[in-house]
Every structure is written in C-alpha cells, then in structure tokens.
Amino acid sequence: MPKNPALARLPGFRDFPPEDLAVRSHIFRAWREACRRYGFQEYDGPPLEPLDLYTEKSGEEIVGQLYAFRDRGGRHVALRPEMTPSLARILAERAQALPKPIRWFSIPQLFRYERQQRGRLREHFQWNADIVGEAGVGADAEVVALAVDALRILGLGPQDFRVRVSHRQLVSALLLGSGVAPDKLPVAFGVVDKLERESRQRSLDRLRQECGLGVSEAEAVLQLFESSDLERAAEVHGEDPEVAGALADLRSLRQVLDEMGMGPFVEFDLRIVRGLAYYTGMVFELFDRKGELRAVCGGGRYDRLLELVGGEPLPAVGFGMGDVVLGELLAERNLIPSYRRAVDLFVAAVSEAQRELLHRIVAAQRAAGKSVVYPLRHQPLRRQLATAAAEGAERAVLLGPGEVERGVAKVRDMATGREVEVPLQALLAGKGGDGDGNA
Ligand code: HAM
C-alpha cells in the first residue's frame, strides 16, 4: 500500500511484477502456440471504442458493467469489455476482400466494472479465437478443439476440465415447445441459466410466476433441462423442425470432436445459456472438472453480428478464454513453471582499469545476440559474482589484470564453477561467451 492511499491500485486491477508477468506470458505462449497449430492469424483493435458498439450488441449484463465516459470531444466512449463487437466492426469493413473462412485471434485486455469475486476482476486478458465465413459444424468443432488443445498444451487433461455444449436455438425451441410465450423467452433463459445456482423450488416458482407455465409444464421443463439428455429432448420435441435441426447439428459436432479425440472433454448440457445477446446457435463453456471455479472460457455461434454492425451477413463462431480463472486452475494443479531469472553472461571487472574493455566486450556480446549484464558501477569482485548468481547468469566473464595482460579472460560456468581462458579478441568479436576456450 503506498503511503498516500489515493495512489493505491484500483480495486479489481492487477500489477504485474516480473514473476507474475512470467505466468501471463506462459499462458499467452500456449494460446499463441495453439493458434499456430490451427492456422489462426493474430489481430488487434483499439482499447477505446464508441459506446454504441456495445449498447445494442452485447446484452444488458455487459452494458451494465461498462467503463463508459465522454471524451474531451464530447463523444460517448467505452473501454472495450469484450472483443467480439470490435472484430465484427473490423471485418464488416474488410471481410469481402478476405478469403473465407477467416481464422483470426487476439489477446486484448478487457475492462468490466464487475463486483469483485474469485475469478472475476475489473480487467482481464482474454484470448479470442473466431472463425468467420463458415456456417457448418466443422467450424464449431474447430473452435471447441482449439480451446481444448490450448489447455492440453498447458498440461491440463480430461481429469482437469470439461467443455459443456448447448445450443441457443435448441433451448429456445424447447422452451417455446414447452409452453413459454415468445415474449417470456428471455426470462425463461434466465431461469435455465440459474438452474445450478438456485433451488429447484425457486426455479419452479419462477417458471410458473414469471414465465406463465402451469405446474406440470414447469415440472416438464425442469426435468428436460436437468437431465440434458438429447435423446429425451428428441423424444418429446423431435417433431419440431427447429429442435430436429439443432439436434442434428449437435450430433454431427459430437462426431467430429470424437474423431479428433476430443470426446473425453465434451458433454452436452442444456443449462449452458451464455449471457451475451448475439449468440444464434451452438454455445459452450469450459469449466474445471471439480466445478469449483467460474468458467475458464465461453463462446458460440453468432451468425448475425456482422450484419448488425453494418457488414455483409457472414456466419461466425468463436470463444473468449480469460487469463484469471485459467491462472487459478493452473496454480491449483501445480502447472505454473517456477520463476527463474536468466541471462547468458555477466561480465565482471576486477578493477576500474578493465572498465573500458568491459564495455567493449558487453557491446560485442550483445551485438552477437547474448543477454548480458554487468555492474553499472565498480564493486568488489565477490559482490559482482554474487550479483551474477542472483541475475541467473549462465556464465561470468572475469576481466582480471593478469589475464588481460596476457590477452585472455576467464569465463566461468556459474553452475559448475569450471573456468576456461578465452582470448579477448574472441570476446571482442562476440564469440567465446559459451566458454569455448578455442573460440
Ligand atoms: P464471456 O463469457 O463474457 O464471453 O467471457 C469469456 C471468458 O472471459 C469467461 O469465461 C472468463 O474466463 C473471462 N472473463 C470474463 N469476464 C471476466 C472478468 N471480469 N474477470 C476475469 N475473467 C473474465 C465473451 O466475452 C465473448 N465475447 C466471447 C466470444 C468470442 N464469443 C464469440 N467469440
């Protein structure tokens, strides 16, 4: 805490000292590696956007959490709370010229004024991966598999997490077919979304009082959604073409994912609704297997968003995976590599007389690509060696008067203590830093 509390970090925001930044970079590397394997290209957009981009498209929950203000030019603006509307805007301008399907990813920092709780902050980094221009389940399967593979790269397996898949149109059709009036659909979605968090009785009461269902209708809805059994949904509502179409999609999705070896990670679960307004088809969330943490990842198909921001209509599917819950899960499973400082070389001079030479060697070794540190002011050799160890130097170049007179320097392997003599000419030519005495 700084002496002046007015200067304290804002609640829900994080500082990233090097050991914390290393965790973030570890996660980002896995995300980028997964994208490389799947042929996705990286993009970005501005962190500040017109407020209107969110008010219409994102849905009430996110709009209520916006960091929004008027800029000095009087414009209504907002810090981006999610990436999808920016992606839609960027593509609305240029999708026509791009070969389809478009596979793009980004790792933006996002801002939501949320009530702070475990796994939820007011800023987070969110990996977004989206496929635009392909309406078939092949694209749905590809994004689910990509999310799974990133977690596998980080060392997590089917014992650690699962993907719960549902379908917006299927849920709508099942609710309508169960007697929910079209204008009550949003409320009914809310009830389904909360089935796991609210008591059964409360859900029954809400279905009756807020969605206008009778006792037996409300009971039937609960049974259908609690079981999440697609065969049962097919038995009861299979005549409905919307239901039949969505079920067929989900079955093909399952088949592709099984063929890719993703079967053990994937479950159907009709209780997954997703808070955002723009989803139109398959939706999914990825959770830790124990069910202790919030969702690590959420996404789905949004076939109308590009049109809504003024682009040509293009089908799209993708997800966002945050760094906060994922970091918690990795920490819980001991999958965060321990932090270690590391440089290739520490160059030490026994006295000020070798300082000019030291500067020349440092510059030459850096020009040759080595990471090099040295004492910025003269210190006793013992202190310098202690610093070299603290910096994690692999080797130390020791410039002593006797050796320098003979045209050599000692290069010490910091782990074994073994020393070799290396010609100064080699060190000044950017060589010999690997302790190769013949360089
Ligand atoms: P979302 O479900 O709002 O989706 O966020 C996706 C993930 O971001 C969540 O599962 C969670 O891990 C993380 N996240 C969200 N809010 C916070 C927060 N306040 N603190 C920490 N982590 C958070 C979207 O944003 C969609 N735009 C994703 C998408 C991309 N759909 C299609 N393409």
Residues 350, 318 within the same domain: no
The preferred substitution site among 113, 122, 124, 328 for testing ligand 1, maximizing ligand atoms within 8 Å of CB, is: 124
Q: Is the dihedral of CA 230, 260, 138, 92 positive or negative?
A: positive
Residues 420, 294 within the same domain: no
- Nearest residue (by CA) to ligand 1, atom 10, is 297
CATH of the domain at 409: 3.40.50.800
Ligand 1 contact, 58 CB (< 6 A): no
Closest ligand 1 atom to residue 121 Cα is 20
Residues 327, 358 within the same domain: no
Question: How far apart are alpha carbons 105 and 122 in whole angstroms?
Answer: 22
Ligand 1 contact, 124 CB (< 6 A): yes
**Domain end among 332, 358, 375:** 332
Cα 210 to ligand 1 centre (Å): 28
pLDDT digits (tens, 9 = 90+) for 258-307: 999 999 999 999 999 887 778 999 999 999 999 999 999 999 999 998 88
Mean pLDDT of the chain: 94
Q: Please determine, for residue 90, whether its predicted confidence score (pLDDT) is greater than 70.
A: yes
Residues 62, 190 within the same domain: yes
- Nearest residue (by CA) to ligand 1, atom 14, is 322
* Nearest Cα residue to 261 out of 144, 405, 430: 144
Asked if residue 237 lies in contact with residue 177, where contact means CB atoms within 8 angstroms, the answer is: yes
> Model-level pTM?
0.94
Q: Please determine, for residue 24, whether its predicted confidence score (pLDDT) is greater than 70.
A: yes
* Nearest Cα residue to 54 out of 85, 75, 79, 76: 85
Show the domain range for 200.
10-332
Residues 389, 409 within the same domain: yes
Ligand 1 contact, 433 CB (< 6 A): no
Residues 371, 228 within the same domain: no
Is 436 domain-assigned?
Answer: no
What is the number of domains present in the chain? 2
Tokens of 64: 């209520």
Ligand 1 contact, 85 CB (< 6 A): no
What's the residue count for the chain?
439
Ligand 1 contact, 266 CB (< 6 A): no
Strands 393-399 and 408-413, by their bridges, are antiparallel
pLDDT digits (tens, 9 = 90+) for 34-77: 999 999 999 999 999 999 999 876 667 777 899 999 999 999 99
Residues 156, 25 within the same domain: yes
Is 437 domain-assigned?
Answer: no
Residues 314, 347 within the same domain: no
* Nearest Cα residue to 354 out of 397, 411, 413, 308: 397
The preferred substitution site among 84, 126, 142 for testing ligand 1, maximizing ligand atoms within 8 Å of CB, is: 126
Residues 307, 379 within the same domain: no
Helix axes 323-332, 18-38, angle to 10 degrees: 100
Q: Which of 29-38, 55-64, 171-180 has the highest mean pLDDT?
A: 29-38
CATH of the domain at 110: 3.30.930.10
DSSP state of 439: -
Tokens of 250: 């989900």
* Nearest Cα residue to 173 out of 156, 192, 158: 192
Is 90 domain-assigned?
Answer: yes
Q: For the residues of 236-303, what is the DSSP string, one character each?
A: HHTTSHHHHHHHHHHHHHHHHHHHTT-GGGEEE-TT---S-TT--SEEEEEEETTS-S--SEEEEE-T
Is 73 domain-assigned?
Answer: yes
Residues 362, 320 within the same domain: no
Ligand 1 contact, 108 CB (< 6 A): no
pLDDT on residue 1: 63
- Nearest residue (by CA) to ligand 1, atom 9, is 297
pLDDT on residue 63: 79
Question: How far apart are alpha carbons 184 and 208 in whole angstroms?
Answer: 11
Measured between alpha carbons, how far is residue 112 from residues 31, 179, 256, 386 in Å?
22, 36, 35, 45
Q: For the residues of 314-339, what is the DSSP string, one character each?
A: --EEEEEEEHHHHHHHHHHTT-SPPP
Residues 128, 55 within the same domain: yes
Cα 346 to ligand 1 centre (Å): 43
Residues 290, 408 within the same domain: no
Q: Please determine, for residue 439, whether its predicted confidence score (pLDDT) is greater than 70.
A: no
Question: How far apart are alpha carbons 342 and 18 in whole angstroms?
Answer: 12
Q: Please determine, for residue 436, whether its predicted confidence score (pLDDT) is greater than 90.
A: no
